[in-house]
Each structure stands twice: as structure tokens, then as C-alpha cells.
Amino acid sequence: MQSFKDEFLSFAIERKVLLFGDFKTKAGRMSPYFFNAGLFNDGASLKQVGEFYAQAILASGLEFDGLFGPAYKGIPLAATVAVALAGMGRNLPYSYNRKEAKDHGEGGTIVGAPLSGRILIVDDVISAGTSVRESVELIKAAGATPCGVAIALDRMERGLGDLSAVQEVSRQHGLPVVSIVNLDDLLAYLEGKPEWADTRTAITRYREQYGAA
């Protein structure tokens, strides 16, 4: 399993989606790394990231009947994951939401396949958990069942309390969260690479200060 995780990290660094340096987070912390999934912004990179998501999702063993992408970053991610899963023999429906309800045409806030059965939410990261909460409400309102969340990176960083944002979401909604990689995977990837020794040290210190239990 570590193989596709290492491949994803190499890919994210090469695409400059994962950057190292000094970055201020929403919480006001100075982080030694930054992840921006919005930079998977061409056909080749989007295709590849969809395949990484699909590998992580299938490896988790999670059972689901459809995919949901929260607006906005989750929309292309859910679509490319659906394509990747179809290429792996799992042809599944996907849906996404509008930020504002449409009052003409087909109307409503949900676009794509009708939400039915067990729905896996696909997003880039979990920060405050707002996107997941809104997605859960939309899925339940449609009569379907949210069954999990798939993200690219779990920072394993404390939120407002001792738990990480991912742990808070999982506990609040009773949902498993699948990530392609987490902070442990990143530290394992950097280990043994002399050119990244200072970066690994900085990330280790950051985790000691802000890491979740």
C-alpha cells in the first residue's frame, strides 16, 4: 500500500501541489508545508489524482453505491474518481451540489445522478469540516446515507481541541475518513532522503507542537 502513497507524494511534489517552506494556515499557525489540490489543473494531472483516490478508496474496503462532490473543489474530484473507478471495473453514479438552488430547468441544488443508497463524499482536505457537514445534510435530505469521506491529505493536526479536524468529523458524523496519504506517510516518504532532511525535521517539530493525539 505504501507504494501508491509514495507515488502520490512524488506526484504532488512534482506538480508543486505539495510545497515546503513557511506557510500561514487558517488557524494562524506557521506550517512547513502546504497542499493545494486546486493545482491538479490539467487533464493529465486530474486523471492521475483520480486514480490515486480510487486506489485508496478500494484499498480501504469501504462499501458504497455512489459518489458525491461538494462544490467547488469536490466537483472535479468526484467526477475523475468516478472515471477512475469505472476503469477499474466499478461503474458508479456521481452527483454534486450547486451553491445556490436553480429555479429553472431541472431546478434544485443536486446535479448528476439521484442520490441513493450509500454515498461516499469526495473532497480535497478537511479543515473546519463545514463542507462535510453540508454534504451530509444534503445526502440525508435526499433520502440517501452518507457512508464515508475520501480526501487527498490528512494533516493529522489538532483542530479546536485535542482531536484533528478529520477525527472531529469522523466522531461527529460517525463516518470513516479515507485519505490517500496522511502526515505519517509524508514523514515516512521524506525519511532517508538527505535532500529533505531539514524539511523532515521542520515537519516533525510542527507535528510535536500541533499534532493530534
Q: Which residues are known to be catalytic? A: 102, 104
CB 169 within 8 A of CB 149: yes
Pick from 116, 65, 120, 115: nearest CA to 91: 65
Strand partners, 163: none
Angle between helices 130-141 and 165-173 (to 10 degrees): 20
Pick from 185, 166, 168, 191: nearest CA to 7: 185
The residues, ordered by sequence, that sit 6+ positions from 26 with a Cβ below 8 Å of its Cβ are 127, 128
